[in-house]
């Protein structure tokens, strides 16, 4: 059965642009629509909430505050790690982005903020932490997820699978 509005458990295809501080940071132009499974935390909560109930062809401007986007900037989310804790052949420079395993084995995003002597200072804030996100979204299509997508909690089209 076709779905007629955005609600939890529906695969939503959107065209979008994302602006931060007046600068376009991301867009679906040239990449094709973004698909996500609504209600499964696949996109930032502030955008997902505002899209609830939208119909095919409908457009909306959505402004998302950091708390409903990529989080507030956390002054404490920094850590200094000795260079020799990283693989020798791993190139490390300022702004290098890494995935660091935490104590529970979860991958966490980190960016090299600075390198001082033998210490690498990592910033664990999301690159868009603290940013007010300005989205323009248009709903292109709605469909039912497959059983597998529902089980995994994300969409499998568009080159992604894990």
* Min separation Cβ 149 and Zn ion, Å: 7
DSSP annotation string for 19-54: EETTEEEEESTTT--EEEETTTTSS-HHHHHHHTT-
Q: Does 40 bind Zn ion (CB under 5 A)?
A: no
Residue number with CB closer to Zn ion (19 or 152): 152
Q: Report the alpha-carbon distance of residue 40 to residue 156 in Å, rounded.
A: 14
Site pattern 95..134 for Zn ion (x: CB under 5 A): ----------------------------------------
DSSP annotation string for 128-145: TTTPPEEEEEEEEEEEPP
Residue number with CB closer to Zn ion (41 or 127): 41
Q: Of 43-51, 52-60, 92-100, 145-153, which segment contacts Zn ion by CB under 5 A? A: 145-153
Tell whether the torsion through CA atoms of 73, 91, 26 and 56 is positive or negative. negative
Residue number with CB closer to Zn ion (101 or 162): 162
Q: Please compute, for residue 110, the number of CA atoms within 13 A of its CA located in the half-sphere on the CB side.
A: 22
Q: Of 24-32, 58-66, 111-119, 150-158, which segment contacts Zn ion by CB under 5 A? A: 150-158
* Min separation Cβ 158 and Zn ion, Å: 12
- 84 Ramachandran zone, left/alpha/beta (phi>0; psi -120 to 50): alpha
Q: Report the alpha-carbon distance of residue 51 to residue 138 in Å, rounded.
A: 9
Q: Of 21-29, 32-40, 120-128, 144-152, which segment contacts Zn ion by CB under 5 A? A: 144-152
Chosen residue from 121, 152, 155, 158 binding Zn ion by CB under 5 A: 152
Q: Which residues bind Zn ion (CB under 5 A)?
A: 152
């Amino acid at each position: 059965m076709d779905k007629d509005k955005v609600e939890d458990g529906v695969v939503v295809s959107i065209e979008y642009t994302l602006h931060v501080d007046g600068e376009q940071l991301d867009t679906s132009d040239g990449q094709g629509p973004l698909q996500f499974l609504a209600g499964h935390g696949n996109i930032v909560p502030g955008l997902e909430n505002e899209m609830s109930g939208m119909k095919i062809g409908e457009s909306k401007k959505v402004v998302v505050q950091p708390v409903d986007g990529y989080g507030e900037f956390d002054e404490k989310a920094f850590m200094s790690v000795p260079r020799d804790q990283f693989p020798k052949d791993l190139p490390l420079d300022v702004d290098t982005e890494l995935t660091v395993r935490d104590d529970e084995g979860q991958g966490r995003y980190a960016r090299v903020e600075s390198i001082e002597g033998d210490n690498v200072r990592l910033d664990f804030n999301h690159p868009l932490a603290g940013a007010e996100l300005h989205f323009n979204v248009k709903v292109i299509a709605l469909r039912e997820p497959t059983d597998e997508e529902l089980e995994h909690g994300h969409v499998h089209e568009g080159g992604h699978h894990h």
